[in-house]
Amino acid sequence: MRDKGGPQSGYSQDVELLSIGTEPRKERADAARNRARILAAAARLFAVHGVAAVSMDQIAAEAGVGKGTLFRRFGDKAGLAVALLDQRERDLQDAILSGPPPLGPGAPPLERLVAFLRAYAEFLDENLELIHLSETASPGARYRIGAYRLWHRHVALQIAAARDDLDAEYLAHVLLAPLAADQRKALREEFTLSRVQDGLAGAARAIVEQPTTGRRRPSSSRRQRSSSRGRQGRSSTRRGGS
């Protein structure tokens, strides 16, 4: 097991996280105003009526823009949900990258991991309808959106910083699985937020504090070489069958 309080839990990991996100493209002033007006209108309507009950026509009317502008800008209601969530997720991202510990840098990896799982569970409950819409827009949508890739990378980095003998990439998916919006929506009445948070914290501690296997995970370069050999083998098989 690695030193849980070492520097690997701090700056270098957070710089890596920054590379995952992308800065929003620069917009003309009028386009930026339209975007802000649309997002504000959607937020108001969603808060009053619920996400499912609000149509794109209603949002366009509330924002004072044409329906064509709305659809060109966001595609559909799921795209609008992603954009609205992006604004709200930035606060959580900022807390991870530069906020105080244990959520931000400076705490041991396990404590940062637990703090994130608790914080995201709360964020999920506060924005459940929007997140559910964005994650279920199409099969596998949850795993393609940038936010999930950022959360997954952060969780994997904390696991890897605490233990170098675990499959951090896979276990990050394991810990994030109970935070899927469709699961939370289905089980919300049965499991309170505090119960979910405590359960996730316990699962994270059990994973990181389990007895060591005595084996180190293969380095990324070794995994890449192995993957490359596998791809070459598959490629030659396809060519041979053609």
Q: Which pLDDT tens digit goes with each residue over 152-195?
A: 999 999 999 999 999 999 999 999 999 999 999 999 999 999 99
Q: Name the pLDDT band for 146 (thresholds 50, 70, 90).
A: confident
Within 8 A by CB and 6+ apart from 127, the residues are 85, 88
Q: Residue 162: which of 201, 209, 117, 206 has the closest Cα?
A: 209
Return the number of other C-beta atoms located less than 10 Å from residue 150's C-beta: 19
What pLDDT was estimated at residue 238?
A: 41
Predicted TM-score (pTM) of this structure: 0.72
> Collapsing DSSP states into helix, strand and coil, what is residue 110?
helix
| Mean pLDDT within 47-65 | 92
Return the number of other C-beta atoms located less than 10 Å from residue 122's C-beta: 15
**d(C-alpha 51, C-alpha 132), whole Å:** 10
| Mean pLDDT within 88-100 | 93
> Collapsing DSSP states into helix, strand and coil, what is residue 76?
coil
| Mean of the per-residue pLDDT values of the chain | 83
**d(C-alpha 131, C-alpha 19), whole Å:** 23
What pLDDT was estimated at residue 61?
A: 95
Amino acid at site 242: S
What pLDDT was estimated at residue 235?
A: 39
**d(C-alpha 66, C-alpha 81), whole Å:** 18
**d(C-alpha 102, C-alpha 9), whole Å:** 11
Q: Rank 50-54, 205-209, 230-234 by mean pLDDT and report only the highest.
A: 205-209
Cα 183 to its chain centre, rounded Å, is 15
What pLDDT was estimated at residue 237?
A: 37
* Domains of the chain, residue spans: 7-22+86-218
What pLDDT was estimated at residue 22?
A: 46
Do the Cβ atoms of 59 and 42 come closer than 8 Å? yes
**d(C-alpha 100, C-alpha 186), whole Å:** 33
What pLDDT was estimated at residue 215?
A: 61
Q: Which two tokens stand for residue 121?
A: 């569970």
Q: Per-residue pLDDT for 140 more than 70?
A: yes
Q: Rank 49-53, 110-114, 140-144 by mean pLDDT and report only the highest.
A: 110-114
Helix (H) or strand (E) holding 67: helix 67-74
Q: Name the pLDDT band for 226 (thresholds 50, 70, 90).
A: very low
| Mean pLDDT within 231-239 | 41
